[in-house]
Structure 1
Amino acid sequence: MAGSTTAERGERQQESSGPPLVRRLGRRRLRMIIVLALGFVLVAAGALWALYGSQWLRVDRVTVSGTRELTPQQVRDVARVPLGEPLASVDTDAIEARLRRKLLRIDTVDVARSWPHGITLKVTERTPVLLVQNGRNFMEVDAEGVRFAVISEPINGVPLLQLMTAQPGSATASLRRFGEGRLVRAAVSVAGSLPAAVAHETRVVKVRSYDDISLELGGNRTVAWGSAEKGSLKARTLIALMKAAPRARHFDVSVPTAPASAGS
């Protein structure tokens, strides 16, 4: 077989090596990629050092807002924010969980980084809607039925909850069937349904059973409320009944379509 000619070998060599301009562009592109990669690595390393290794972005203050009964210092003590640590490494979820676990008065808390040196704790405290007497003290109960704090004096405008669990009969049966927690939530629901004018005068929310909840108002007046169901309708009916019989001492809205009043 005849070998290739010198001209053919030259053509193949030129084709394999490519034009000089193409080779130069390929080398420039490679150098650019290497330079960009090195630059990215240096920038990332610098950012990591600034966040975790430098003294520039470390925690030196904790700001607390939204407290009413709690003090900012109480919140700081329980939060245990690590002062002097890199701000980026602070576990905000752990701080939030610790505050809600140890300070039951806190309903919600927003833990946020405040660059470059702070942590902010925005607290929302629970609001009592009922009180449960416990010996000489009182337990505050919020709108979700959570018992969250013990106080030594009753709060003006917050009704006292009486669970008639010590009474024989229906109260005991209702307690076994529904559980104390559900009965408390039913009482809370009733308290939340009361019109403002009635709520202000309510002294006691009494629970004999799930279907037998009553109110004691100022002026020796009582309201038979029944169950916690149809609370809005019962509230409107009670207001109308009080206007129609202003001297009455007993009101019954347990069946809101057939209300009644008595006494004078």
Structure 2
Amino acid sequence: MSSGPDTTGPAPVVDESTIRSRKRFARRQWARRWLAWRRVVALLLLIAALVAAVWLVYFSDVLAVKEVEVQGTSTLTAGQVREVAAVPSGQPLARVDLDAVRARLEAMAVVRDADVTRSWPGGVTIDVEERVAIAVVDLAGRTRGMDAEGVVFRTYPKPPPDMPQVSMSSDTSGDALREAALVVEALPSEISRRVDHVEVATIDQISLVLRDGRKVVWGSAEESEAKAEVLAGLLEQPGRTFDVSVPGQPTTSG
């Protein structure tokens, strides 16, 4: 019985160039696989870094509020500002609601504007602009300070001697009071120091009563600069009442 072909012969001989080719192919395959894995590893490291950064900034106490610095106060104390601002100590700085802090501060009558900023790594800076009184007004038996916007914001134990007073009736509107504030703000210093008080009836019925008893019919706050120039000349003339409500046609009487 005949046997099948002999398969036990010697293995084929592989030359050196083939071996080198196979090695180069294997290296290329490994390089491609490593490149793909390297991208995955880099992406995982990036995600881990982002997660760590978010945790550090928004949830850890490493960058939490430790200090609240107050600037710009004069009438208020830093303690009063901090109390109203109510910045939560220990809260991550990035999560502090700066708009809410600003709104609480600007709700105070004495505060005209408040700027609230983060001061990394653990502080909040509050820069307050307080209102400045330019006149005083008697409200319900109390002497109150009024700023250039007509906002009444503070109480004086007695009227300051260097500040004009605004006299109004119980039915004087807020708009008329603001108009009076504009008039007082527009007065040059040489006239302002001669004013005892400002009488306000309506927006366009505002008068100045001087310290010597003479009266100036001013009208509204419109053309206040021109009115002041005209009045400066009239005050050197005799008369008890000066009407500069129409600065181009001033009148004197009394």
- Tell me the TM-score normalized by structure 1: 0.78
Unaligned segments of structure 1, at least 5 residues: 1-18, 167-174
Task: Give distance in 2, aligned partners of 1:149 and 1:155.
Answer: 13
Residues 63-142 of structure 1 correspond to what in structure 2 (within 5 A)? Answer: 63-101=69-107, 103-142=108-147
Structure 1 or 2: larger helix share?
1
Contact 1:62 1:118 in 2 (8 A): yes
Residue 91 and residue 186 in structure 1: after superposition, are their counterparts in 2 closer, same or farther (change >3 A)?
same
Matched, 1:258 2:249: yes
| Residue in structure 2 matched with residue 5 of structure 1 by the alignment | none
Aligned with 1:62 (options 58, 65, 68) = 68
**CA distance in 1: counterparts of 2:192 and 2:198, whole angstroms:** 10
Q: Which residue of 2 aligns with 1:144?
A: 149
Pairing partner for 1:226 from 219, 238, 242:
219
Aligned to 2:202: 209
Structure 2 residues not aligned, in runs of 5+: 1-24
Distance across 2 between alignment mates of 1:157 and 1:27: 86
Aligned-partner residue type, residue 211 of structure 1: D
Matched position secondary structure for 2:234: helix
% identity of equivalent residues: 37
Q: Matched residue of 1:97: which SS?
A: helix
Measured on the aligned residues, the alpha-carbon RMSD in Å equals 2.3
Offset of residue 248 of structure 1: 4.8
Do residues 45 (structure 1) and 51 (structure 2) align? yes
Question: Which structure: larger Rg?
Answer: 2
Q: Is the 8 A contact 1:157 1:201 kept in 2?
A: no
- Structure 2 SS opposite 1:124: strand
Paired residue total? 230
Asked if 2 retains the 8 angstrom alpha-carbon contact of 1:203 and 1:217, the reply is: yes
* Letter in structure 2 aligned against 1:240: G
